[in-house]
Amino acid sequence: MKVPDSGMPEKNYWESLFDVSLVLDRLGVDQTVRNVAEMGCGYGTFTLPVARRVAGTVFTFDIEPAMAECTREQATEARLDNVHPTLRDVLVHGFNLPSGSCDACLLFNILHFADPQALVAEAARVIGPGGRVLVMHWRSDIPTPRGPDIAVRPRPVQVQSWAAAVGLSTGLTLDLPPWHFGIVLSK
């Protein structure tokens, strides 16, 4: 079940919309992080930079064959052997990962559908104690050049309530300029 309005524009345009280093710095992605799960790799915009920073493997999943393949090809070209892209419908089948096997789970630009709490719960399952679910999404309070309809974009307060419902604690809402906010959810 593909998340509605989750198709991708052209790669260079998509990647012009983020300051990837700033996002990963502010969300605390560094060498202290071992294995990572990611829902929806897309073009690998964050997957590869995350793989360069962390000490473990990035297990990333996408429902679109072209997206998983794009990420795989780039990882191979970059000789990153700690990127594992898999074709999978995460909403229907979850992450194919054992409980508590990751230090972080990335939910970037994806929580704009009917029942995001179930995905937040699945993300919480794959992280161990002290692990973090990292959320980033388009802001709703400013005009943005792209992003799903304002009506379906998750607000920080909604993310916090989904987190609380699955037993995660929430940190401050982070500004991820120019167009995004982030929240770190901790186990």
Residue appearing with tokens 């393949």: 69
Q: Does 110 bind ligand SAM (CB under 6 A)?
A: yes
Which one among 27, 58, 59, 61 touches ligand SAM, defined by CB under 6 A?
Answer: 61
Angle at alpha carbon of residue 50, lines to 74 and 115, rounded to 5°: 100
What kind and span of H or E run contains 175?
A: strand 169-176
The HSE-up count of residue 90 (CA atoms within 13 Å, CB side) is 31
Tally Cβ neighbours within 10 Å of residue 166.
18
Q: Does 46 bind ligand SAM (CB under 6 A)?
A: yes
Closest contact distance (angstroms) between CB of 2 and ligand SAM is: 4
Closest contact distance (angstroms) between CB of 43 and ligand SAM is: 6
Q: Does 19 bind ligand SAM (CB under 6 A)?
A: no
The HSE-up count of residue 100 (CA atoms within 13 Å, CB side) is 3
Residue appearing with tokens 């502010």: 26
Closest contact distance (angstroms) between CB of 62 and ligand SAM is: 4
Instruction: Using the rule CB under 6 A, give the single segment among 51-59, 105-113, 127-135, 164-172 that binds ligand SAM.
Output: 105-113
Which residues are at the interface with ligand SAM (CB under 6 A)? 1-3, 6, 8, 40, 42, 45-46, 61-64, 67, 89-91, 108-110
